[in-house]
């Protein structure tokens, strides 16, 4: 029955994951902007493809996290 | 080739180092999320798909980032090899000027070799799969108030609590296996309960400090068993337990965490017949410790349990932040030093150029 307590813990874990992801993404983008211009030919194409995948997944994780936090908060608020 | 060699592998190293440094916090966040999900009560079934999607995508993101970092590290090594080749051929003089070997020529101990090599070629393989057997739940229960919870917020701080009274029969069972690129998990549980109960719980989270307490009074009979084994690249965890009881029982637990230490105690006073035994063991880089609960009742009964966990990552976080700060300060100092040196070189060059011009003019007059 300790559900509200566990939900609170889960919400805190989601917030932590979100904060880590934000900081990591910010750091990665800043460094990758420097790096991208250094690539040539095939390497550049591979980097762009990998970077595009990474950004797509990052956007999806952000959306997932927002949805999960809203859902858990709603459950916690009894909605 | 000249263009490749003029690129600065240090920039690539910075990205590789950043990915390596962020890997651990991400893994810890995933681990914390996984544990929080496992500790959910009645909401678990409703929230498991939503939180499970977050977990899957976070793992996939981590795998992609590792692959990208591997590619970048390989390219940094290739740039350095090209630099060394140009240096040997003397071509570097045409790029970096006649003064000395290019900066990257100091790569006798390239930074890339000091960076922990990410897992190259282990791209996000969509081979994660899991199987959960259909759960034959039987539940005829009366609960009041149904799903009541209350929570309050003050800024970032949260306080949540819930409570209920209920009576009825409940039987739940489940078994499953979950295979990901990081771990294999397998578990099963069975729970049977007939009786009436009153329960309440409260939890709070203020920044890194969290605490929770719960209590339950139960009259009736119940039995259960559970087993969970997790073996993966992040270590091993196991949970085994079982209990059988008939009578009247009051349970309580309190748990708190401060910094790297999480500790808790639980206990029960009962009157009836029963036996309880539970053990959890965590041996992972993120969490080391365990929980034990034992109890017996024959007439008057008593259960006691303790848990103690240490999260080494909390300590490592501080060190990593400290080291990261030192590296950033060092990088800034180096950049400033480099600017000063290049400014001085440029001034000397201009002075020499001016001197040459004067000499040429004087030579012209003499000629």
Nearest to B252 by CA among B218, B229, B277, B292: B218
Return the pLDDT at B226: 84
Q: Angle at the Cα of B190 (from B38 to B196), degrees rounded to 5? A: 95
Return the pLDDT at B82: 67
Q: How far apart are CA B32 and CA A13, in angstroms?
A: 6
- The predicted-structure confidence for B124-174, as pLDDT tens digits, reads as follows 333 445 555 555 567 787 888 766 667 777 766 667 777 788 888 877 776
| Token pair recorded at residue B282 | 């965590």
pLDDT, mean over chain B = 71
Query: Shortest CB distance from A1 goes to which of B19, B164, B213?
Result: B164
Q: How far apart are CA B169 and CA B267, in angstroms?
A: 24
Question: Mutation test of the interface with chain A: which of B149, B212, B256, choosing the one with the most A Cβ atoms within 10 A?
Answer: B149
For the ranges A38-42, B72-76, B106-110, B334-338, the one whose mean pLDDT is highest = B72-76
Mean per-residue pLDDT for B208-220?
78
Q: Decide: B181 and B63 in contact? Cβ < 8 Å.
A: yes
Q: Do A9 and B36 touch (CB under 8 A)?
A: yes
Pairing assessment for the beta strands B209-232 and B157-179 based on DSSP bridges: unpaired
Q: pTM of the predicted model, to two decimals? A: 0.46
Q: Do A8 and B12 touch (CB under 8 A)?
A: no
Query: Shortest CB distance from A7 goes to which of B29, B40, B163?
Result: B40
Return the pLDDT at B323: 56
- The predicted-structure confidence for B16-65, as pLDDT tens digits, reads as follows 887 887 888 888 888 888 888 888 877 777 888 888 889 988 888 888 88
Reply yes or no on whether the pLDDT at B96 is more than 50: no
Return the pLDDT at B24: 80
Residues from chain B contacting residue A3 (CB–CB below 8 Å): 40-43, 149, 162, 201
Return the pLDDT at B317: 53
The residue among A52 and B4 whose pLDDT is bigger is A52
Shortest CA distance from B210: residue in chain A: A9
Q: Which ipTM value was assigned to this complex?
A: 0.85
- The predicted-structure confidence for B243-292, as pLDDT tens digits, reads as follows 999 999 888 888 777 767 888 888 999 999 999 999 999 887 777 899 99
Q: Is B72 on the interface with A (CB under 8 A)?
A: yes
Q: Decide: B117 and B70 in contact? Cβ < 8 Å.
A: yes
Query: Shortest CB distance from A16 goes to which of B15, B29, B42?
Result: B29
Residues from chain B contacting residue A26 (CB–CB below 8 Å): none
Query: pLDDT band for position B302 (50/70/90)?
Result: very high
Residues from chain B contacting residue A42 (CB–CB below 8 Å): none
Nearest to A11 by CA among B53, B27, B47, B215: B47
Q: Decide: B162 and B106 in contact? Cβ < 8 Å.
A: no
Percentage with pLDDT > 70 across chain B:
60
Specify burial of residue B177 (Cβ count, 10 A radius: 0-12, 13-18, 19+). middle
Return the pLDDT at B129: 53
Question: Mutation test of the interface with chain A: which of B203, B207, B252, choosing the one with the most A Cβ atoms within 10 A?
Answer: B203
Return the pLDDT at B348: 56
Q: Is B360 on the interface with A (CB under 8 A)?
A: no
Q: Is B204 on the interface with A (CB under 8 A)?
A: yes
């Amino acid at each position: 029955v300790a559900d509200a307590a566990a939900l609170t813990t889960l919400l805190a874990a989601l917030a932590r994951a979100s904060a880590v992801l934000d900081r990591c993404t910010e750091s990665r983008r800043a460094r990758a902007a420097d790096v991208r211009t250094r690539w040539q030919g095939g390497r550049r194409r591979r980097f762009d493809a990998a970077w595009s995948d990474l950004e797509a997944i990052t956007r999806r994780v952000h959306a997932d996290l927002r949805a999960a936090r809203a859902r858990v908060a709603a459950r916690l608020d009894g909605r | 080739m000249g263009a490749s060699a003029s690129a600065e592998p240090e920039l690539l190293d910075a990205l590789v180092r950043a990915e390596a440094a962020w890997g651990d916090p991400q893994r810890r966040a995933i681990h914390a999320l996984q544990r929080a999900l496992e500790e959910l009560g009645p909401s678990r079934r409703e929230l498991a798909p939503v939180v499970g999607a977050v977990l899957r995508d976070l793992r996939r993101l981590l795998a992609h980032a590792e692959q990208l970092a591997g590619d970048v590290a390989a390219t940094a090594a290739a740039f350095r090899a090209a630099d060394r080749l140009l240096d040997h051929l003397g071509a570097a003089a045409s790029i970096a000027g006649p003064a000395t070997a290019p900066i990257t020529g100091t790569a006798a101990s390239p930074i890339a070799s000091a960076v922990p090599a990410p897992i190259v070629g282990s791209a996000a393989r969509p081979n994660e799969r899991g199987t959960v057997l259909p759960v034959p739940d039987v539940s005829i229960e009366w609960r009041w108030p149904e799903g009541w919870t209350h929570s309050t917020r003050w800024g970032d701080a949260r306080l949540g609590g819930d409570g209920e009274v209920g009576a009825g029969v409940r039987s739940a069972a489940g078994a499953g296996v979950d295979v990901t690129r990081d771990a294999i998990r397998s578990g099963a549980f069975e729970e049977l309960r007939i009786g009436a109960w009153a329960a309440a719980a409260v939890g709070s989270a203020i920044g890194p400090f969290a605490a929770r307490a719960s209590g339950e009074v139960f009259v009736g009979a119940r039995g259960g068993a559970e087993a969970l084994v997790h073996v993966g690249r992040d270590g091993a965890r196991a949970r085994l337990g079982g209990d059988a009881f008939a009578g009247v029982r009051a349970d309580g637990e309190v748990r708190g965490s401060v910094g790297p230490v999480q500790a808790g105690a639980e206990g029960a006073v009962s009157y009836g017949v029963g036996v309880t035994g539970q053990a959890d063991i965590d041996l992972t880089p993120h969490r080391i410790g365990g929980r034990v609960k034992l109890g017996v009742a024959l007439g008057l009964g008593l259960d006691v349990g303790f848990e103690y966990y240490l999260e080494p990552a909390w300590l490592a976080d501080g060190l990593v932040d400290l080291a990261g700060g030192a590296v950033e300060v060092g990088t800034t100092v180096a950049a400033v030093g480099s600017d000063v040196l290049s400014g001085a070189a440029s001034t000397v060059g201009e002075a020499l150029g001016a001197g040459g011009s004067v000499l040429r003019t004087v030579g012209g007059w003499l000629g």
